[in-house]
């Protein structure tokens, strides 16, 4: 069963990939490009091309090399693992379909994201993003998991505002694309700021609104955003990041000006 979907359409067609490789962050001398060619499969995405390289890692010049290393898990653009730079654009490799990228057999280039420490080949270390979730206290201060009845009532409209913000999969696209995120800045980036908005919108979450705002107020906070809007363009979940940034920026300003009155 389910094998019947393996049609032989496009038999003989090849997919060509140019892959940026490096054995580890400190091993700059191993930085190189390698090119591979794999058979085309129907409904093929970049991940299935990489999987074929993994099975038989040989470059176009017939040299056997170590298989390309990358991260992936869900394969349906919901876990965020497979983020990389495909043809110069940061995105998820699992939803990068070969038919769309290379309809005429063009070469597809793959590079790791550049704003995170390199681990190997296309794999980078995004742990700073998870650390940032701690910094902005992206959670609700629950009394406990014991039975305490239902949560606060919420209108369908409020749910429709929160749900899209809550779909952030910590993929890193927004940080990769942001000019303000770089070696010489400590800017926390759009994803974490969006979490501040998300939790401040929730009736229980709002009880810790001030701590969350203060977490993005000083050095590297929301004020470092240069409003370039690159983030919102690359966010695969179409999260209204610029709105989130403006909202949080307004709230922090208000808190800065009038916060002491409320203390």
Partner 1 sequence: MASKTTVRSEGGKVRRVVVVGGGLAGLMTVIKLCEAKVPVDLLSLVPVKRSHSVCAQGGINASVNTKGEGDSPQVHLEETAYGGDFLANQPPVRGMAEAAPGIVNMLDRMGVPFNRTPEGLLDFRRFGGTLFHRTAFAGATTGQQLLYALDEQVRRFEVEDVVDDHGVSIPGEKMVRKFEMWDFLEPILDDSGVCVGAVAQDLKTMQIRPFLGDAVVLATGGPGLVFGRSTNSVICTGTAAIAAYKAGAVYANGEFIQVHPTAIPGADKLRLISESARGEGGRIWVPKDKADKRAANDIPERERDYFLERMYPGYGNLVPRDIASRALFKTCFHEGRGIFDEATGKNELAVYLDLTHKDEKFLRAKLAGILEIYEKFAGVDPYKHPMKVFPAVHYSMGGLWVDYEADARGSLKAGSPRNHATNLPGLYAVGEVDYQYHGANRLGANSLLSCIYGGLVTGPAVASYRQAMAKSAFDLPKSIFEKAEKRATDDYARILTQNTDAKAPENAYKLHEELAETMLRDCTIERDNKALDGVLAKIGELDLRVKSVRVTDTSQRVNQGAQFVRHLENMLVLARVIAQGARNRDESRGAHYKPDFPRRDDERFGRTTLAVHEQVGSVKFVRAFDYTCAGETVHVTDAIDTSLVTPRERKYEQAGAASAAATGKLGSEPESKSGATTEAR
Within residues 145-174, the interface with ligand SF4 by CB under 6 A covers 168-174
Candidate list 22, 80, 178, 248; residue touching ligand FES; CB under 6 A: 80
Residue 102 near residue 109, CB atoms below 8 Å: no
Return the SS3 of 219.
Answer: coil
Handedness of CA 10, 11, 12, 17 (dihedral sign): positive
> Among residues 44 and 225, whose Cβ is nearest to ligand SF4?
225
Q: How far is the CB of 248 from partner 1 (least distance, A)?
A: 17
79 binds ligand FES (CB under 6 A): yes
Ranges within 80-119 binding partner 1 (CB under 8 A): 80-81, 94-95, 97, 99, 119
Instruction: Spell out, one character per residue from 34 to 63, where the chain touches ligand SF4: x when CB under 6 A holds, - when not.
Output: ------------------------------
Give the integer Cα–Cα distance in Å for 213 and 37: 50
94 binds ligand FES (CB under 6 A): yes
Environment class of residue 119 by beta-carbon count within 10 Å: exposed (0-12), middle (13-18) or buried (19+)? middle
Sole window of 98-106, 155-163, 186-194, 206-214 interacting with ligand SF4 (rule: CB under 6 A): 186-194
Which residue spans within the chain are E strands per DSSP? 14-21, 32-39, 83-86, 89-92, 108-111, 118-120, 123-124
Taking the CA atoms of residue 166, residue 167, residue 173 and residue 176 in that order, the dihedral angle to the nearest 10 degrees is 10
Environment class of residue 190 by beta-carbon count within 10 Å: exposed (0-12), middle (13-18) or buried (19+)? buried
Return the SS3 of 234.
Answer: helix
Instruction: Spell out, one character per residue from 175 to 214, where the chain touches partner 1: x when CB under 8 A holds, - when not.
Output: ------------------------x--x-xx---------
17 binds ligand SF4 (CB under 6 A): no
28 binds partner 1 (CB under 8 A): no
Ranges within 222-261 binding ligand FES (CB under 6 A): none
92 binds ligand FES (CB under 6 A): yes
Return the SS3 of 185.
Answer: coil
Instruction: Spell out, one character per residue from 134 to 173, where the chain touches partner 1: x when CB under 8 A holds, - when not.
Output: x---xxxxx-xx-xxxxx-xxxx--xx-xx--xx-xx---
> Among residues 49 and 168, whose Cβ is nearest to ligand SF4?
168
11 binds partner 1 (CB under 8 A): no
Helix axis angle, 190-201 relative to 241-262, nearest 10°?
60
Sole window of 22-30, 109-117, 197-205, 230-238 interacting with ligand SF4 (rule: CB under 6 A): 230-238
Q: How would you classify the pairing of strands 118-120 and 108-111? A: unpaired
Q: How far is the CB of 244 from ligand FES (least distance, A)?
A: 21
Sequence-distant (≥ 6) Cβ neighbours of residue 161 within 8 angstroms: 201
Q: Which residues bind ligand FES (CB under 6 A)?
A: 72-75, 77-82, 92, 94
């Amino acid at each position: 069963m389910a094998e019947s979907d393996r049609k032989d359409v496009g038999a003989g067609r090849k997919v060509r990939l140019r892959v940026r490789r490096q054995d580890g962050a400190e091993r700059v001398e191993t930085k190189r490009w390698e090119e591979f060619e794999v058979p085309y499969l129907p409904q093929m995405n970049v991940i299935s091309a990489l999987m074929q390289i993994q099975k038989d890692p040989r470059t176009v010049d017939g040299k056997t090399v170590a298989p390309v290393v990358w991260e992936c898990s869900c394969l349906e653009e919901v876990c965020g693992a497979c983020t990389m730079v495909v043809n110069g654009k940061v995105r998820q490799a699992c939803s990068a379909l070969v038919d769309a990228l290379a309809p005429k057999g063009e070469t597809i280039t793959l590079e790791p994201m550049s704003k995170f420490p390199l681990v190997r080949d296309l794999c980078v270390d995004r742990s700073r993003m998870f650390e940032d979730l701690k910094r902005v206290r992206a959670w609700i201060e629950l009394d406990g998991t014991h039975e305490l009845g239902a949560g606060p009532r919420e209108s369908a409209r409020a749910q429709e505002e929160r749900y899209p913000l809550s779909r952030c999969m910590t993929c890193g696209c927004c940080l990769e694309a942001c000019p303000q995120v770089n070696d010489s800045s400590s800017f926390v980036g759009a994803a974490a700021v969006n979490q501040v908005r998300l939790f401040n919108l929730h009736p229980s979450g709002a009880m810790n609104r001030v701590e969350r705002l203060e977490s993005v107020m000083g050095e590297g906070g929301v004020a470092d955003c240069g409003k370039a809007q690159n983030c919102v363009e690359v966010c695969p979940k179409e999260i209204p990041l610029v709105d989130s940034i403006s909202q949080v920026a307004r709230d922090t300003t208000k808190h800065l000006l009038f916060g002491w009155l409320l203390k």
